[in-house]
Amino acid sequence: MADGLFGALFARGDVDAGDRAWLRAMLDTEAALARAVERAGLAPAGSGAAVTAVADADFFDNGALGRAAAATGNPVPALVRTLTGLLPDSAAQAAAAVHRGATSQDIIDTAAMLVARRGLDTILADLAAAAAGCAAHAQTHANTVMSGRTLLQQAVPVTFGLVAAGWLTAIDEARRDLHRVRTARLAVQFGGAAGTLASLGEKGQAVAALLGEELGLPVPALPWHTDRLRIIELAAALTGACAALGKIARDITLLAQTEVAEVHEPAAPGRGGSSAMPHKQNPVAAIAMLGCTKQAPGLLATLAAAAEQEHQRAAGAWHSEWQPLSHLLTVTGSAATWSADLLPALRIDPPRMRANLEATAGLPMTENLTTLLAPALGPLPAYDLVAKASARAATDNITLIDALLADETLAARLAEAAITRPDLESALKPESYLGATPEFIRRALAAHAAIERTLSS
């Protein structure tokens, strides 16, 4: 978790995309390149080990590197000078292996892949915990009936198990996309000054392959200096995860409202408190998740806008990626950590769900009632009569059945069609109108089990 005034909210968890993480990743790249250059026979034996020994973030001053970057447009030239200067006299010959064949963008882009890989591993672990929580709720509450809501109004009945299954599916789809990026789209960047590796002669491709081997990253068909689809795909997958988590967080804030009170965040001393109102217990985890996820679309837009890059190396567009990508990794990681804490421990109140569903005296079942009456009355007349009865039930504070039977003409038509009061009462039972809910939950859980097998293999 990052320090600072807002770190515990928006940099929660173990995703590290800050300056220190970037420095470590750049040094890891430089050290791996030195080892690759030695293995390719372009530097004396022992050069790789000598460079690796001094490529330690503790030996570097981020502030000094940052100030030097103002003169060169990025921190790599200063990093290379410092790294070379740290070599002991006994390993002076290893300087030939430092930054050999590379340009600054090679180091920063490859470092971005390393920072992303480490961050994605943490995000995926947290999302797995969140998904497990949703799967448990889907199973436990498969038959817990509650109000479905459309346009923020009660609609037809659903179960909380179906709601949780929807959350589960969204998280699992986000996990699948993040895993695809993690395994297939992170790659070495190594092209030299203009993407030709000309300074390495015939050894250029061999060094690139060895660099990929040293870092455990694939080597693409050619350098991607101005082809930024990898960055966009990474950013889109992170934003997709934020979209899934943001939807869940918004649902929880709505279901936790005092007047609804169907779910509650786990209680703890001081949690959810207000600076002015001692009684408050705000859904702080869901609120913090939303605070993180709402930042993602703007960051994605910035990264997408930066993808238009000129010729062989960009002037400014590439530079504009570093901070938004770092920020996007951080807020996605924070939202995922909040979700891993919240979802398994979310408290569900089935009696309250039932009470809220029954508070409207059968109105959420009007669609089922219309279906029952349509054969006898015709679809449109049945709809109109049920709508009229619904309005009367709400106005006169009576049940929907009483409102229907209070219309003598309609009562006579129902009698002719042999539709009895017990038939009407049966049609108003929420459990009678859940449709494919059990099958949808089953499918979500089966898909989740399949994703677990895939991601764990």
Q: What is the pLDDT of residue 2?
A: 66
Measured distance CA(17)–CA(118) in Å, rounded: 9
Angle at 363 between CA 358 and CA 368, to 5 degrees: 110
pLDDT digits (tens, 9 = 90+) for 199-210: 999 999 999 999
Q: What is the pLDDT of residue 413?
A: 81
Q: What is the pLDDT of residue 271?
A: 63
The residue among 347 and 400 whose pLDDT is bigger is 347
pLDDT digits (tens, 9 = 90+) for 95-134: 999 999 999 999 999 999 999 999 999 999 999 999 999 9
Name the catalytic one among 199, 274, 426, 432: 274
Q: Residue 149: beta bridge partners?
A: 154
Which pTM was predicted? Answer: 0.93
What's the mean per-residue pLDDT of the chain?
94
Q: In angstroms, how far is CA 19 from the centroid of its own chain?
A: 23
CB 370 within 8 A of CB 383: yes
Residue 108 to residues 73, 79, 188, 196, 232, Cα–Cα distance (Å): 12, 11, 10, 18, 16
**Mean pLDDT score, 349-378:** 90
Q: What is the pLDDT of residue 269?
A: 63
**Mean pLDDT score, 234-251:** 98
| Tokens at 402, concatenated | 């009483």
Q: What is the pLDDT of residue 242?
A: 98
**Mean pLDDT score, 327-355:** 98
pLDDT digits (tens, 9 = 90+) for 146-176: 999 999 999 999 999 999 999 999 999 999 9
CB atoms within 10 A of CB 195: 20
Angle at 35 between CA 31 and CA 38, to 5 degrees: 140
Domain ranges across the chain: 104-354, 363-427
Active site annotation includes 313: yes
Residue 274 has pLDDT above 60, yes or no: no
Angle at 23 between CA 20 and CA 24, to 5 degrees: 85
Name the catalytic one among 176, 313, 413, 442: 313
**Mean pLDDT score, 37-49:** 97
SS3 281: coil
Domain 104-354 CATH superfamily: Fumarase/aspartase (Central domain) (1.20.200.10)
CB 30 within 8 A of CB 110: no
CB atoms within 10 A of CB 389: 25
Continuous H helices in 319-378: 322-342, 350-358, 366-377
**Mean pLDDT score, 65-88:** 97
- Residue 155, φ and ψ in degrees, nearest 5: -120, -105
CB atoms within 10 A of CB 191: 25
Confidence of residue 272 (pLDDT cuts 50, 70, 90): low
Measured distance CA(420)–CA(208) in Å, rounded: 80
Ramachandran class of 158: left when φ > 0, alpha when ψ lies in -120 to 50, beta otherwise: beta
pLDDT digits (tens, 9 = 90+) for 175-194: 999 999 999 999 999 999 99
- Which residues have C-beta within 8 Å of that of residue 118, sequence separation ≥ 6? 15, 16, 21, 25
The identity of residue 164, as a single letter, is: A
**Mean pLDDT score, 400-428:** 86
What letter does residue 221 receive in the DSSP assignment? Answer: S
Q: In angstroms, how far is CA 261 from the centroid of its own chain?
A: 26
Quote the percentage of the chain above a pLDDT of 90: 80
Q: What is the pLDDT of residue 276?
A: 46
Active site annotation includes 104: no
Confidence of residue 280 (pLDDT cuts 50, 70, 90): low
**Mean pLDDT score, 421-438:** 92
